[in-house]
Amino acid sequence: MIVVGVIGYVNTPRGLRSLKTIFAEHISDECKRRFYRNWYKSKKKAFTKYCKKWQDDDGKKQLAKDFGAMKKYCQVIRIIAHTQMRLLPLKQKKSHLMEVQLNGGTISDKVDWAREKLEQAVPINTVFTQDEMIDVIGITKGHGYKGVTSRWHTKKLPRKTHRGLRKVACIGAWHPARVAFSVARAGQKGYHHRTEINKKIYKIGQGYHTKDGKLVKNNASTEYDLSNKSINPLGGFVHYGDVTNDFVMVKGCVVGTKKRVLTLRKSLLVQTSRRASEKIDLKFIDTTSKFGHGRFQTAEEKKAFMSLCKVSVVN
């Protein structure tokens, strides 16, 4: 993620209130798109006047004053960061924008750190580490309007039931003359905001990078499996594509459909279990095709086994 701003909050009797918000001098188009409904038809003038603050003397004085006010009055400091959509194999160009709270150190240290990091990327390995327990926040897969059998998994009524059998037979007593909230009813299923806790990080992998003038892709090889292969299965990840950037491998499943954005959060609990403190040593990462019955780990292995085929001859 790229840091593009700093925001300071003060405590009030009614909760937190933002005191100052400071944006960076240079903001990418993928971030500016978030401030527009229709980027194509707009004049694309967002932040054109604001960025001049960083250039003239009066603006610099005002920025220094604002940073000083943050250090003096604020109790909570957060950075404003956005995702880098141009690095992903997705159609979407508009980045996701969020606030990330800074913890640890004094308020002055937080403001200075945030100011240093403006316009810079924050890599995933500077925030999370392998074997750490994290929380994953996201939106579940949507299923639309569903009945009680699908939505609440209530038991179906007998076959001979009049007026339908995928229903709740009794929805409550005559009095109180209202339906209780606890009674299963038809309605929206899925597309809900959910937080899943205690996901263990199995691996934080490095994306494709250049070393000694050569492109290095073998981020799926381990100490026990020395084959030269990337984390991408044959044919790519289904409904996504190829992962070429830094990645996080967590144990288990995560909410939502493919391509949907997720928020990773530090665990709020004190992790004391054996499972949380376990050291993970990956021996093998399966990269067979996820579309059909995968047999081969790499394209070279498949080519060697299948020998020449019509496609190979044509190409």
Residues 272 and 278: their CA atoms lie apart, in Å, by 10
Closest CA to 305 of 217, 297, 290: 297
Other Cβ atoms less than 10 A from the Cβ of 91: the count is: 7
CATH 4.10.960.10 in the chain: give the residue spans: 143-189
Per-residue confidence (pLDDT) for residue 240, from 0 to 100: 95
- Written out in words, the top-level CATH class of the domain with range 199-314 is mainly beta
CATH fold of the domain at 2-122? Ribosomal Protein L3; Chain: B; domain 2, (3.30.1430)
Q: How far is CA 214 from the centre of its chain?
A: 30
Per-residue confidence (pLDDT) for residue 268, from 0 to 100: 95
CATH 2.40.30.10 in the chain: give the residue spans: 199-314
CATH 3.30.1430.10 in the chain: give the residue spans: 2-122
Per-residue confidence (pLDDT) for residue 306, from 0 to 100: 85
The CATH number of domain 143-189 is 4.10.960.10: yes
- Cβ(220)–Cβ(150) below 8 Å: no
Q: What residues contact 267, with CB distance under 8 A and at least 6 apart?
A: 132, 133, 134, 135, 197, 198
Per-residue confidence (pLDDT) for residue 309, from 0 to 100: 73
pTM: 0.89
Q: Point out which residues pair with 9 in neighbouring strands.
A: 18, 76
- Taking the chain (315 residues) in runs of 10, the rounded mean pLDDT of each run is 96 96 95 96 94 93 95 96 94 96 94 95 94 97 98 97 95 96 97 97 93 90 91 94 95 96 96 94 94 91 83 65
Question: HSE on the CB side for 297, CA within 13 Å?
Answer: 13
Residue 38 is encoded by which pair of tokens?
Answer: 């229709």
